[in-house]
Amino acid sequence: MKIHTGERSNSCSVCGKGFVTRSILTEHMMSHTGERPHSCSVCEKGYVTMSNLTQHMRIHMGRCHIVAVVVEKDQ
């Protein structure tokens, strides 16, 4: 119901921004601390959420496919 009413009872202690859920506040706090718990196994870039990492991995999946085709042609 909080989403529909606009109630934001979880506030950031650093910047004061309000959030509907504690989990969203926790993700936001990582923007202040620089914490990035989800890292790419290819380039080691870090992300706050697994969904952002998954979206990033699509870049590498496309590149890996292209590299595989080039390697096959050279052999």
If pLDDT is split at 50, 70 and 90, which confidence band does 73 have?
very low
What integer pLDDT is reported at residue 63 of this predicted model?
Answer: 58
Q: Mind listing the pLDDT tens digit for each residue in 17-65?
A: 999 999 999 999 999 999 999 999 999 999 999 999 999 998 888 755 4
What integer pLDDT is reported at residue 8 of this predicted model?
Answer: 77
41 contacts: CB under 8 Å, gap ≥ 6: none
What integer pLDDT is reported at residue 67 of this predicted model?
Answer: 42
Which carries the bigger pLDDT value, residue 29 or residue 69? 29
Q: Which domains does the chain have, with CATH numbers?
A: 2-74 (3.30.160.60)
**Cα torsion through 43, 66, 50, 6, rounded to 10:** 120
